Structure 1
Amino acid sequence: MDARVLRFLAIAFGISWSIAALGMAFGVRSATAPGYTVVAGAAMFGPALAALLCAHRFDRTGWSALGVGLRPFRVKPFLATALIGVAIVPVILAGTALLAARFPEAGFGRVVFTSDGLVDQVKVLAAELGAPPMEEEKLGPLRSFPPGLILLGALVGAVVAACTVNLPFMLGEELGWRGYLWGRIAHWPGARRIGFAGVVWGLWHAPLIAIGHNYPGHPVAGVGMMVLLCLALALLFDHVRWRSGHVWTSALLHGIINGSAGSYALFAAQGHPLLGSIAGLAGILGLVLIGGFVVLVDGPYRRSLFARVA
């Protein structure tokens, strides 16, 4: 194992886990607690800070090691990345619906793609957030819009947010994972590179999972599920990083995923966090399906995954 990789991971984990521990020490013990967003947002910058420190202080390689160069600038990788990103929620919703129909008692919940179902789910989500009961008059406009149009609007909004307000936070992770780390392991065989990045990325989330991120009430099993989720995601991130040659497409994909994840909850209800959620088994299977499709249609990338490394 490259000593530079180990040093980077030690610093990245050290920064992020220390921030999470500090948050817990000050009473942030659940994902709905006041201050959780601040703690999670601050922890996201651990990988970027580690990457900057390693690149500038230890390796003396500067920005070139972080994959921030955009020359030559190409639009196609960004468009392909956006297409992958906006496909995730619809594919997982469809998969959840199929799983729920096939295994109705397994905990996959249900998917309701109707205006009335959407209104009911908004009420449930508002109650879970502790908001006062919503008046029917305020919910009336929701009934006049087709659910598909609402989902489309949410996905477009996620793309816009990924390019603007979400970008700095996504770079907080991506400068580390798909910037510095990817540059150190890009020469590894594809399966090893993706597997290593996915496991590391998943384990990095462990303190936030313990607080209640993604899998409330399942601090131990949630870490294992997060590792599986990140393994499924790692293939997609590896693909957009390999295709573009820089970290910006990875940041875009990360921003779209984070920005659109909430739209899943508008149409999927009563699912077990480990099974019928966008971060649960239903989500993982959907991501595997998308990843398989990407590998199938992108011949050069597929061949690179199985190429012999000298």
Structure 2
Amino acid sequence: MTAVGGRTSRAVPWAAVIVFVVVACGLAWLVALPLWLGDGLAEPVAGLLLPVMMLTPAAATLVVALVMRVPSRGERARFLGLWPLRPARRVVWLMVAAWLVPPALIALGILVSAALGFVRLDLTFGAFATELRDALPPGTPLPPVEVVVVAQVAMIPIAALVNAVPAFGEELGWRGWLLPALRPCGTWPALILSGAIWGVWHSPVILLGYNFGRTDVSGVLLMTGGCVVWGILLGWLRLRSASVWPAVIAHGSLNAAGGLIVLFAAAKPDLALAGPLGIAGWIVVVAVIAVLVVTGQFRRQPELAPPRAAHPATPSP
């Protein structure tokens, strides 16, 4: 449905939204429970549980779609942005941008971090070489660190596509279901609220020190801020294309390039300041959002399926 004055004519299905959030967040805590009962992120199963946690928004989507029937059966593929891919040219170009632009923004964020003094760069990659050696058994032969760095950077486009597979589990929920469901309250409220929920959903692992190394509410606040600004950008891809696939690819690309700063930092960086979800990342992404706003890109939105619930058929008299 096309937004008129930032709003649509239908109401937000708040009951379904509440159920979605409770299920997504509740399942996330359930999946992370073994980490809380064990050694946190040092648990051997952490590498398995984190991708499983990414599936919980998709599970919440299935609950509201199949049990609460929001949206109704005939509208699901279109409402979730799975199909059709129209206009095809726009969707394809936005998918390409979603694939290539996030790593460029993260690289720009590294330069902003250096300019603001958040991190000192080392183009000899000495700190990364030391970290690499410490992570491997003593005596393990290593190629020159420059070769490793070039290989890591060159693999980002491929890793973005690989990471898009688990990212689909999140995006089907956040930008596939939640953003269109909230859109009747206005484009910007929907973007900000869906991004904030996305950030809070990360709490089970953020409070264990994931991403920022902070195990208190400050880590959750930082993650929420990062998810709001990146969520606006991913949400714009979703609304501008009427498809969830550009957001899926962008999410995978963001995850693939998120560790770039570790390669170039002269010492272990404070990701709250220098990381893609930290202050430097916010500055870069907000600048991009401002350009999109000034050029009217948020006003150009194709029609989306309305969040109607299915109603039982009325028997004929």
TM-score category by the smaller chain?
A: 0.7 to 0.9
Match of 1:285 among 260, 277, 283: 283
In structure 2, what residue type is equivalent to 1:7? V
Secondary structure of residue in 2 paired with 1:138: coil
Matching residue of 1:11:
23
Distance between the aligned counterparts of 1:63 and 1:134, measured in 2? Answer: 54
Secondary structure of residue in 2 paired with 1:34: coil
> Does the aligned pair in 1 maintain the 2:82–2:244 contact within 8 Å?
yes
How many angstroms does 1:80 deviate by? 2.4
In structure 2, what residue type is equivalent to 1:33? E
Range 3-12 or range 286-295, more displaced: 286-295
> Does the aligned pair in 2 maintain the 1:28–1:36 contact within 8 Å?
no
TM-score, normalization by structure 1? 0.82
Distance between the aligned counterparts of 1:43 and 1:285, measured in 2? Answer: 28
How many angstroms does 1:302 deviate by? 4.9
Provide Cα deviations, 1:129-182, integer angstroms capped at 9, x if missing partner.
x423576x7242x3479x7xx3xx64553232332x322200110000001112
How many angstroms does 1:238 deviate by? 1.2
Over 3 Å counting, the alpha-carbon distance change for 1:126 and 1:226 in structure 2 is farther
The Cα RMSD (Å) is 2.4
> Does the aligned pair in 2 maintain the 1:123–1:134 contact within 8 Å?
no
Matching residue of 1:99:
116
Distance between the aligned counterparts of 1:273 and 1:133, measured in 2? Answer: 28
Match of 2:180 among 167, 179, 183: 183
Matching residue of 2:95:
78
Provide Cα deviations, 1:270-295, integer angstroms capped at 9, x if missing partner.
32242233332222222222322333
Matching residue of 2:48:
38
Unaligned runs of 5+ in 1: 101-107, 305-310
How many angstroms does 1:24 deviate by? 1.9
Distance between the aligned counterparts of 1:219 and 1:134, measured in 2? Answer: 38
After the TM superposition, list the runs of 4 or more consecutive aligned residues in structure 1 that deviate by more than 6 angstroms.
Answer: none
> Does the aligned pair in 1 maintain the 2:28–2:53 contact within 8 Å?
yes
Distance between the aligned counterparts of 2:96 and 2:119, measured in 1? Answer: 33
Distance between the aligned counterparts of 2:279 and 2:109, measured in 1? Answer: 10
> Does the aligned pair in 1 maintain the 2:109–2:274 contact within 8 Å?
no
Match of 1:243 among 233, 240, 245: 240
Distance between the aligned counterparts of 1:134 and 1:111, measured in 2? Answer: 28
Q: Which structure has the larger Rg? A: 2
Over 3 Å counting, the alpha-carbon distance change for 1:34 and 1:120 in structure 2 is same
Identical-pair percentage: 28
Matching residue of 2:79:
65
Distance between the aligned counterparts of 1:92 and 1:261, measured in 2? Answer: 11
Over 3 Å counting, the alpha-carbon distance change for 1:69 and 1:134 in structure 2 is farther
Provide Cα deviations, 1:60-100, integer angstroms capped at 9, x if missing partner.
43434322114333321212222422322211111011011
Unaligned runs of 5+ in 2: 1-11, 302-317
Secondary structure of residue in 2 paired with 1:274: helix
Q: RCO (CA 8 Å, sep 6+): is it higher in 1 or 2?
A: 2
Q: Alignment length, in residue pairs?
A: 281
Match of 1:228 among 210, 225, 230: 225
> Does the aligned pair in 1 maintain the 2:35–2:43 contact within 8 Å?
no
Distance between the aligned counterparts of 2:52 and 2:268, measured in 1? Answer: 31
TM-score, normalization by structure 2? 0.80
Over 3 Å counting, the alpha-carbon distance change for 1:86 and 1:37 in structure 2 is same
Matching residue of 1:307:
none
Aligned counterparts, 1:175-214, within 5 A:
175-214=172-211
